[in-house]
Structure 1
Amino acid sequence: MLKAFLILLAGLSAAPASLAAPAAGVGTCAGKPEQACLFETIWTAAGALPATKQQRLAPLFLDTVRLSPDSALVQTWQARLPGVKPAAPRAANYAEDQARAVIAETGWASFTARARAGGAPFNLGRPEIMAAGVRLAPDAATARRLIDAMFDLAVSGASHSRLEGDFETQDFGHALAELSMQRCDLVAFDRAVALTAAPDGLRYALWRARITGGASALASRIAYNADADDTRHVRQALEGYRPILALGYCNR
């Protein structure tokens, strides 16, 4: 949102030094090191928020920065944001635990059939449990069968009601988009994102950039859509960029 971005630029001089980011050149990463530029842009976008909300984002921001292999960049941000504690550890992976339990109980032969039927434990979080199954699959053929089943269920909207079906379709779309991004499958990614609740979302644009390359091209979008109240814009930027830092680009 341009208004929020302009408010940010006007107020940067009054912000605490540890939480303010320089505004010069924000919004373009042409000819600049990608990671340094994007982190500058994301943190500047966070500066559009009230100080208390920006401070709450600092642990997630620094945790994302620490994924960078550039130790000098990490040290720079740690110095700029002193005293920020690490983000809270992620909760136990329910979906993976359930997938492992099904595999241990019935083996891979029945996993897909049970998922399609929708009985326990697939009656709660079926897209996520099936996605966990894909990641645990012993071979490419098994993973492919599960992915095909996920797309079938997403398209059919198989559920107990129309409303539930819509929500599950969106959840399948998100889970499949993440899988496709991790597997560097652009065709499947675009198909999956079309099923999500927000196919034009920033997180998906950054995930797509992992496959196609050039996340820095999204700097202007990150900068000029800064929100003066809602943290979701910055969170999506961080969630979108994390896989690029953790896994690298598909074409490199």
Structure 2
Amino acid sequence: MRAGLLFFLAGLLAALPATAQPCPAGKGEAACMLEAAWQAAQALPEGKRDNLRAAFVQPVNYLAGIENRAVWADRLRNVKLEPASGDYARAQAEAAIAAHGWQGFLQRARDGAAPLHMGRPEIMAAAVDLAPDAGERKKLIDLMVQLAGASDRRKVSGIPLDSFERADFGHVLAERAMRDCDLAAFDRAATLTTAPDALRYRLWRARITGSAGGLADTIRDGDGSKDTRHVRQALEGYGAILSLGYCAR
């Protein structure tokens, strides 16, 4: 009778959902979050798992402690990195500002004139750090917000350009707001994207609000697919916290 009861209780406990295991805030958070991403990657097919190893190299470089580095050195041994490509959007922004001046650049951005007829959100975002002063910087960001909500009759392959641009503006504005630690602006921008609740944006938001460790289980659990997108978003999202730190509160 007692043995049967114990067996029943053991089965009941096994059926309960696993206890959440957030990564504790502080010195060990980074290693814990990267470990969560690594665990998620292990559920993928071998070929995709191997291709993902290179995506861990840069985040791992931020880890402190010999012990942490030793573990990752073994995991990432013989990883082949692609040569770093130049920043195309920034190069286009710099060239347009040099050719037309700052005000001319803003006008071309409004008009969608070359080189801003394609990739306008990314080029404008790259120009934010090139603004001559804080006032012009704000003017550029305000223009991006305005254009994100504007209707555009231009089409690409029969699809209205604003369908593409709105989501792209949302993405770059969300990244800018995350870097500027502006929560209200971040939330507005995220709603313009195609997936406001995507893991990347949840981690970026956590940079502003506080500890991202509560998302560790979400990272570990994956998204149920065999695609690498989930792990890449985890690394991109938490990568901002690794490189920039948390916003002051």
Match of 1:110 among 81, 98, 104: 104
TM-score (norm 1): 0.84
Q: Which amino acid aligns with 2:241?
A: I
Partner of 2:229: 232
Q: CA deviation at 1:111?
A: 1.6
1:249–1:122 distance in 2 versus 1, CA, 3 Å: same
Q: Tell me if 1:251 matches 2:245.
A: no
Write the distance in 2 (CA, Å) between the matches of 1:31 and 1:245.
13
Contact 2:54 2:76 in 1 (8 A): no
Greater Rg by CA: 2
Write the distance in 1 (CA, Å) between the matches of 2:44 and 2:138.
43
Contact 1:171 1:196 in 2 (8 A): yes
Match of 1:68 among 63, 75, 86: 63
Q: CA deviation at 1:127?
A: 0.2
Q: Tell me if 1:83 matches 2:82.
A: no
Match of 1:223 among 220, 233, 236: 220
Write the distance in 2 (CA, Å) between the matches of 1:31 and 1:154.
36
Q: CA deviation at 1:84?
A: 2.2
Write the distance in 2 (CA, Å) between the matches of 1:77 and 1:25.
27
Q: Which amino acid aligns with 1:160?
A: R
Q: Tell me if 1:38 matches 2:37.
A: no
Contact 2:121 2:172 in 1 (8 A): yes
Write the distance in 1 (CA, Å) between the matches of 2:25 and 2:111.
53
Q: Tell me if 1:134 matches 2:131.
A: no
Write the distance in 1 (CA, Å) between the matches of 2:77 and 2:92.
39
Residues 92-111 of structure 1 aligned to structure 2 (within 5 Å): 92-111=86-105
Question: Where in structure 2 are there 5+ consecutive unaligned residues?
Answer: 1-17
SS of 1:156's partner is coil
Match of 2:238 among 213, 238, 241: 241
1:31–1:238 distance in 2 versus 1, CA, 3 Å: closer
Q: Deviations over 1:203-232 (max 9, x none)?
A: 000111111111111011112234441000
Q: Deviations over 1:81-110 (max 9, x none)?
A: 32223x313322111111101111121122
Aligned-pair Cα RMSD in Å: 2.1
1:154–1:31 distance in 2 versus 1, CA, 3 Å: closer
Count of aligned positions: 228
Write the distance in 1 (CA, Å) between the matches of 2:25 and 2:119.
44
SS of 2:196's partner is coil
Partner of 1:183: 180
Q: Deviations over 1:25-60 (max 9, x none)?
A: 884324782111111110000011011111100011
Segment drifting more, 108-117 vs 224-233: 224-233
Q: CA deviation at 1:71?
A: 4.9
Write the distance in 2 (CA, Å) between the matches of 1:25 and 1:84.
34
1:184–1:222 distance in 2 versus 1, CA, 3 Å: same
